[in-house]
A and B are shown apart, each in its own frame.
Chain A
C-alpha cells in the first residue's frame, strides 16, 4: 500500500493525464454487446495483428485497446481492477507484484513453459532484448561499439560529438526503464560507470522507447541505451539510419507478460484471449507478427532473460527503490 502511495506520488504528473491514454483504439464491431478492455504498454501498431486475428474468430466481440506507460498501468489497474479484462505490460516486476498481490485470475491448464509463467496467472509471450541503438551517421568511420565497455570508450573518446546527444530511460518514470536499470546494476558495475559517463554528457531522459527512436531517427540523439530492439526493428522507415546493437558482454532480455484481471468484467472472454495470445506467440510462425515470440533458445543458460520470479519485487520495496534512485540520480544527474 505504502509502495503504491509512493509510486502514485512519484508519478503524479503522469497520473494527472491518466485518462488521456497514449493511444486508444476500438477493434471489431463497435456495436457488439461485449467489449473486452485491454490495458497495455505495447504500441497499438505492434499489437493490432494479435487482436485482429482474435476478432476474426470472434465476430460478436469488440476490443478496446488502451495504451499507457508501464508505471501508469500499475497504478491505474490497481485502482480499478474491475475496469479491465486483460493487463499487458513489459515491466515484469510490476506485473509480478500485481499478481503477487492477488489482482490476477489464475487460468487452468494452460500449456506454457514453467519459466514463462507465474502462479498460472502471469504469462510471458514475447522475448525482447534491451539494445543499444545508434544513429549510423554519428559513427561514420568509427568502430561500432559491441559492448557497454566499448560504448563507454566511444563516448569518452568524442565527448563533443555526444554531449546532449545520448538518451536513456528516465527510470523514475518508466517501469520498464527501472526494470532494465536494476537488472543491469545487478549484473555488472559497468552499468554505473556507463551512467556516470552518460550523465557527464548531459543525457536526455525519456519515458518510452518510441520517443527515443523518434529522436534517434531525426538525429536529435546519436546513441540510446536500453531501448527495446523490437521497437526499433519494427520501424521500417528508419532501418537505414539506425543500427541495433545487442551488447555482447551481458544481454538483458525482457519478457512481455499478460494476465487476466481477477475482477475482469468478462473473465471467460479474457481467459480465451490470453490463451489465444499465448498460443499465437508460442507457435512456430510467431515471426509473422511484429512482436518476437518467446523462444526456448533465447532462454539459454546465459541467463540473458530476466527470470520471472518474485525476487523482481525486491527493487519495488520503497526503501530499496529510494536507495537505488538516489544512486541513479547521483550518477546521471550531475549538477
Chain B
C-alpha cells in the first residue's frame, strides 16, 4: 500500500485562528462520505442521459472520448475539489465563498463564491420537481394506474403540466401536489439532521437499495430474449448491438468529443459546489485521494454498467429502433419510452415501480447534496442556527419551486434555468475551480494537501494535467458548447417572456446571494478570519 509519506512533509494544523475545525460538522465514516459524494453524483443522467448519448454518438466508439475525458477531466477535477475543500475546511471554511476566499483572498473569489452558492440552490428548485415526477411514477406503478394508461406522452404532460402554464395550480391535481410537498419536506428533514446524522445515514441506506433495484431490473431485461412475439429481431442481442456497435467515423466529429466530455463533467457533479463543501467536513488525516477515486468509480458503475445495459437495450427490445429525437431527450426516454416498455413487459408493474423508485433514490441523494452547500453558507456567513438556516432556505427554494411549477408550459422555465445555471454556470464554476487549484493554490501545494493521510499515491503528472491540460480542455469544450448552443437560448430569451422571467429570476437570486456574501465577508473580517497566507506555518 502506497502512503503519503512519499510526498513532502505536511504542514501542521493551524491553531489560534477562529476558523478551527472544532465544533464544526464532520463525517462519521470513510465509506459514509464516499457514498454521500457518489450519491450526489449518481442521478437521472446516469440512467437516462448517458445511454442516449452513447447511442447517438457512435455507439461503442463513444466510450473512447468518454474514458479520455474521465481520465483528464473528471477524475483530476474531483481530486482538486476534494483537496481544496478539505484544506479550507480544516481551517473552518465550509461554504464556497469562504473556501475560495481562503485560497485566494481577492474580491473576485467572493463573486465566484456567490456562483458556488446559486448553482446548487437554483438547480435544487427544479430538480426537486423532477424528483417528484419519479416518485409520482413509482407510486402510480404501485397502485396499478400506470398499467391502465395507454398514452404515456399525455400522462407525462399531465404530471408535469407541460401543456399549459399553471396546470398544477388550476386543475386540482391534488395527489401530485402532495407528492411535491412530501419530496420537498423529506429533503429538508434530511438536511435538518445534519451531515452525519442526515445525509450520511440516508446515503448509506439509499445507495445499496439503489443497487439492488438496478440489479433486479437488469436481470429482468437480460432474461427477456425477444419479448414481442411477432418481432423476433427485437431481441437482447440486437438491443445491445443498437447501443454498443461502434461507428468509429464518429470520432472525427468534434461534437462526439464534446458530448463525451459534457457527460463526464455533468455526471461527476464537478463544478457543482457540492464536492468542495462535502470535503470541507473532513479532517486533515482523513483520506481523500482514494476516497475521491472510489466515489468517481461508483458513479461510473451506475452509469456504464447499469445505465449502459438497461435503458436503450430494453427500449429497443419492446419498441424497435427509436427516433433520435426520443433518444436525445432524457425526459422522453425516461418518462415516455420506458413506461411503454414496462407496459408490455411481464410483471411490468413491479419492475416499473422498482425502476422509478431507483430513479427517485438517485434523485434524492443528489438533491440533498444541493441543499448542504447553501445551508453551510447561511450558517457560516450569517451565523444562523440550523433551524433558522433551514427555514430561510426552505422559503427561498419554495418560491423558486413555485416559479418553475407555475411556468410549466413546454417546461420552458425548467429548461432555461437548467441551461443557464445547470450547464453554463457549471462550466464557469468548474473553470474557475480548475484555475484556482492549478494556478492559485498551485500544483506543489496541491500535491502536498492531496496526500495528507492518503492511501493512494496520485501520480505527479496529474498535477501537471491540473495546471495545464485540464483548464485548456475545459475552456475548449466551453467555447465549443457556447458556439453550438448559445444562439438558440439567446434567441429564446428575446422571443419568450417566460425565458425572460427566468433570467430575471436568476438575476434576482444572484443579487440577493451576492449581498449576503458581502455581509458574510464583513462578518468574517470582524472575526479575524484569515486566508491561507496568514495562517501560521505548519510543521
A, B from the same assembly: no
Residues of chain A at the chain B interface (Cβ within 8 Å): none
Residues of chain B at the chain A interface (Cβ within 8 Å): none
